[in-house]
A and B are shown apart, each in its own frame.
Chain A
């Protein structure tokens, strides 16, 4: 069994991060497993975790009473989920559900924030990585909104 640090070092999100920093962050995380259909988090619930997805596929969803469950994003191996821990008051805005067996490293948000406050350089590095993911997601979401494919549903 590889140690947590090793897992983090191999994950694209932490590419290039120094060993000492990885060791520090690893202290905030633990391995977790979600069976198919299990929720990683639910809309409205207190949000204080960051998920590093190692394998499997997760659907980020909104539930509409008439249209049912709508997936707004999918995330899988090599990706990350969960930014609500960055900004108070820490509540999830969407649901996230494992579509198949998903292995993840789950970080405690309060622990991460504490490490970042204690070492601003580490905090800046982490924030840059997170911001990078957010920017890419935002661009993609804006293009998604354009509904470029048209079709029956487009007005």
Chain B
């Protein structure tokens, strides 16, 4: 072929007129502009997990968000990552996020200290069906860092406890060292109107609780399969197995909700990265009903 190579066809700045469109941010960048917040408090949950409480800087009020949604958090000069809201924003008026350090951006976010600035864009995405679950039993099943996106929903449910039937939380972590939100778990466990069961994959030393994967804990959750709403959050393999087990126990697939994760560059439906079949996880998720998610997750490498 004698045509210009595709590399040169797109990397050269097109001939332009008054302003060089290849390099100028012509017009506002709009939804990609981040708002500057400040870190008010940090708490180290585990060696690689940090919870941040954020307050808006001069940019004003915290945007109302619902548990299940996420914000794009920006570490100055490093990058942005989609992080689920992990607290109930109604409570403190602050934005709470729990971050696990797995790459350059999350490592930078986990290195933040009180007073440091953070960029926030959002909130985006769908939320847990906290309102729809009213009048029914609630079962929350979390694995690992998956407890973070569920924490706000659980707190909200407990704040209006009388609107729900039986409420159960099952949590599985890798080891006792990896359990997050220990204080919250203890506090919830000490209530008489909530069931909390925790298990770890393996334990060394003084752990006297369950050991094993989280699915057997379903035997301890006294919720009515015919009249409950289940919210699952954790590694995808875990959610698939728990959802199928719940199905075997009679929970309808439109009463099971999962939180999915895919690569996100923009979080606002413009970059194309977070596609899962016909869904955009940033817009149609991250919380999905299982009857919608299951056929998509069944296809490898979709």
Q: Does A131 contact B (CB under 8 A)?
A: no
- With an 8 Å Cβ cutoff, the count of chain A residues facing the other chain is 14
CA distance A155 to B240 in the complex (A): 25
Instruction: Considering the complex, give the chain A residue whose CB is closest to the CB of B299.
Output: A63
| Category for how many chain B residues contact A | 10 to 19
- Say yes or no: A62 contacts B244, CB within 8 Å: no
**How distant is the Cα of A42 from the Cα of B300 in the complex, in angstroms?**
11
- Chain A 23-59, CB-CB to B under 8 Å as 1, else 0, gives 0000000000000000000111000000000000000
Residue of B nearest to A145 (CB): B202
The digit string for A140-152, where 1 denotes a CB below 8 A from any CB of B, is 0000011000000
A69–B201 Cα distance when bound, in Å, is 21
CB distance from A11 to the nearest CB of B (A): 30
Q: Cβ of A118 < 8 Å from any Cβ of B?
A: no
In the complex where A64-B236, A145-B201 touch, is A89 in contact with B298 (Cβ < 8 A)? no
> Which of A42, A44, A146 has the most C-beta atoms of chain B within 10 angstroms of its own C-beta?
A44
Shortest distance from the beta carbon of A119 to any chain B beta carbon, whole Å: 28
Are the C-beta atoms of A63 and B248 separated by less than 8 Å?
Answer: no
In the complex the two chains form, what is the Cα distance from A25 to B114 in whole Å?
70
- Contact present for B236 and A89 (CB under 8 Å): no
Question: Please, how many angstroms separate the alpha-carbon atoms of A63 and B300 in the complex?
Answer: 7
Chain A residues contacting B298 (CB-CB under 8 Å) are 42-44
Q: For residue B243, which residue of chain A has the nearest CB?
A: A44
A7 within 8 A of B: no
Q: In the complex, what's the smallest C-beta–C-beta distance from B276 to chain A, in angstroms?
A: 9
Contacts of B175 in A (CB 8 A): 155
Given contacts A43-B298, A44-B294, A145-B202, contact A64 B235 (CB under 8 A): yes
Q: A126 CB to closest chain B CB, in angstroms?
A: 23
Q: How far is the CB of A99 from chain B (nearest CB, A)?
A: 16
Contact A155 B300 (CB under 8 A): no
**Chain A residues within an 8 Å CB radius of B201:** 145
> Roughly how many angstroms separate A143 CA and B174 CA in the complex, as a whole number?
16
B241 pairs with A93, CB closer than 8 A: yes
Which of A62, A89, A146 lies in contact with B237, CB distance below 8 A? A62
A65 within 8 A of B: yes
Contact check: which of A44, A69, A91, A93 meets B300 at CB < 8 Å? A69
> What 1/0 flags go to A89-104 for Cβ under 8 Å of B?
1010100000000000
Q: Which residues of B contact A (CB under 8 A)?
A: 174-175, 201-202, 235-237, 240-241, 244, 247-248, 262, 294, 298, 300
Q: Which 10 A-B pairs have the closest CB atoms?
A: A63-B300, A65-B236, A64-B237, A89-B248, A62-B237, A44-B298, A91-B244, A145-B202, A44-B244, A64-B236
